[in-house]
Amino acid sequence: MGRLEGQRALVTGASSGVGAATVRLLAREGADVALIARGRLGLEAVAARAREEGARAFTSPADVADRDALKQAVERCVRKLGGLDVVVVAAGAGAFGRFDELPAKDFDRCVAVTFGGAVDTIRATLPHLERTGGRLVVIGSAVDAVALSLLSPYVAAKSALAGFLDSLRAELRASGSPVGVSVIRPGPIDTPFWRHLTHPAGLRPPSLPPLSAYTPESVARAAVACAIEPRRSVTVGGATLALRLASAVARPLTERALALAARLGRSLAGPDPHPDALWEPSGDGSVDGGLGGRPSVVTAIRLGRSRR
């Protein structure tokens, strides 16, 4: 029997990347899963893998930036599952370029999906988690403490999300809530996210060096570990931990190094095969982005017996 046998889980951003990887690991641990994302084909592909693991899996297509559609999707998932024990918030979107180049509508869209969608997901699912003493797991990012340029709307959204979760956790503690709140903070992850970044000139950033990216499964394992045993925060990757430390103790030097990397990245940007991914469904069930991501040994050790 899996460690989540009989549990009922909902995952947003489930049609690709970290969300898709998390769905499969939740199913492997015995949980039944409900999947929310925009793309129907991607959702069905991921749900089929969950069923191969022996889980019940339901799909409910919705754009997390559409509050009413998201609320209805959550209610459909709750009815199908019969309740909620675990919610994993993994939906996110990004746009690549300097702030003064990015169209305001693209900036706002990134924030609406990555921050607003997360907040609205929590708003819709929290009452159900309160009833079961469930666990809320949010995929944040290491950029909430790192001066990363050329992704300003994504950085703004993840930073806002970190502050919101701190406030929410304090409020839940003050009210005696049984809900556990965990945030996962990965660095660069080998997911389709990088292929789907919108750029104002129709370009996309170059592929990240393989040694800088971790596998989506590394993040998914951290998320599932927190679904089993809540932790306040898990940073994925030894290199990510080092970068966060460097930003804390030597921020000017870190900012200079990241600025040079951003200049190089912008100069190497190439044609974007998915220029409308910010606005149109793009998840096709793919988990990795073809960057040769590596597992995080450091994270596996830190998670200890929760590693699977």
In angstroms, the Cα distances linking 223 to 95, 238, 256 are 25, 17, 32
Asked if residue 303 lies in contact with residue 221, where contact means CB atoms within 8 angstroms, the answer is yes
Give yes or no: 214 in active site: no
Cα dihedral across residues 66, 68, 74, 79: positive or negative: negative
- The Cβ-side half-sphere exposure at 199, using a 13 Å CA radius, reads 23
* Catalytic choice (107, 154, 194, 214): 154
Q: Is 19 helix (H, G, I), strand (E, B) or coil?
A: helix
CA distance 139 to 88: 7
Structure tokens at 295: 């597992």
DSSP H or E run through 174: helix 152-174
CA distance 293 to 245: 22
Active site residues: 154
